[in-house]
Structure 1
Amino acid sequence: MENIRKYFNEFVSISDADWDVFSSKLSRVEFPKKSLILEIGKRERFLSFIEKGIIRFNIPKPDHDFTFAFAFENTFVSGYDAFLTQTPSLYNIEAITDCVLWQITYEDLEAVYNNTSIGDRIGRKVAEGLYLRKMKREMSLLEDTAKKRYLDLMNEQPLLIQYIPQKYLASYIGIRPQSLSRIRKTI
């Protein structure tokens, strides 16, 4: 839980009283490898902080899953569109490795916003972080080659990328596993 406070302290000083309110609303949850954290068609009830593990966002297809995002340790993760609207998710969120998450419910987050002096700012910063990751991903898909997308992921998460199956990496960068094999041979 201390990593969450460190995360917040990077952009705002949070008082002990506000931290006590926020941290009292958090629940520690473990998800084994390959389990669904959020299933397509279900309502996203939580905003989560990844203490340990790797998560992928995917849309299941008959012949393969389309992976469109990864989330790593010490970041917030959520089916954020479904969380904000409290409507069913259009995708799955899956634990690629064993994961430990700290979760806060939608209702409890609203209570933090209403009962702390810093709640709105924290919420805004988390939302900005999620948005910036999304925009970076979209721009990469429009501007970069598959090889550059792979190299960027290797540079951003060099130790963790070894735990992601090649088929998920290939889907994420928009190619088939065979093409990713060819890219890896040239590196």
Structure 2
Amino acid sequence: MNEIRDFIDKISKMNNTDWAFFSSKLKKVKYSKNTKILELGKIERHLYFITKGIIRLYIPKEDADITFGFLFENEFVTGYDSLLTETPSAYEIETLTETEMWQINNMDLQEVYAHTSVGNIIGRKMAENMYLIKSKRELSLLSKTAEERYLDLFNERPNLLQHIPLKYIASYIGVTPQALSRIRKRIT
């Protein structure tokens, strides 16, 4: 549980009373590789903090899934739009590796926001961070070539390329696995 406190304290220091209240709401969960933690059409009820593992966010399609996000240790994951609106999710979230996380349900999260001195600040900063990541991805898809997106990914998150199947990386940068193979050959 120390890793989540360290993460939160980097955003905004949480006093011991608030930490005790927040941490009392957390539950440790473990998932096997390739487990869906949010299914298409289901309503997201939890926010998770990853302590071990890799998570993929994607839109399932008959011919090929569309991957739009990866998350790693010391990051939060949730179907945020579904969590906020309490509406069915338009995508799925799955584990790519054996994964361990701390989870908090939405009702308890709202209590943390209401009853702690920094809960709202942390929530706002996390939402701002998610927005910046999403905005950067959209701009990249609209303004860069697939090769540039691959190189950006390689430079920003080299761990991604070591642990994630190439078909998911290809989908993430918006190309077929064959096109990604050609890009990789050109680069090397």
Q: If the length of structure 1 is used for normalisation, what is the TM-score?
A: 0.96
1:156 deviates by: 2.2
CA distance in 2, matches of 1:135, 1:164: 23
Counterpart mapping for 1:8-157 below 5 A: 8-157=8-157
- 1:3 partnered with 2:13: no
Q: 3-state DSSP class of the match of 2:170?
A: helix
**Runs of at least 5 residues in structure 2 that lack an aligned partner in the other structure:** none
Aligned residues: 187
Q: Which moved more, 1:146-155 or 1:25-34?
A: 146-155
Q: Which moved more, 1:155-164 or 1:145-154?
A: 155-164
Q: Give the alignment's Cα RMSD to 1 decimal.
A: 1.1
User: What amino acid is the match of 2:75?
Assistant: T
CA distance in 2, matches of 1:50, 1:156: 19
Contact 1:141 1:173 in 2 (8 A): yes
1:160 deviates by: 3.7
Contact 1:42 1:88 in 2 (8 A): yes
CA distance in 2, matches of 1:36, 1:180: 26
**Partner deviation per Cα, 1:99-127 (whole Å, 9 max, x = no partner):** 11111110000110111111111111111
User: What amino acid is the match of 2:22?
Assistant: F
**Runs of at least 5 residues in structure 1 that lack an aligned partner in the other structure:** none
1:162 deviates by: 1.4
CA distance in 2, matches of 1:11, 1:92: 28
Q: Give the fraction of aligned pairs with identical amino acids, expressed as a percent.
A: 57
Q: If the length of structure 2 is used for normalisation, what is the TM-score?
A: 0.95
CA distance in 2, matches of 1:79, 1:146: 26
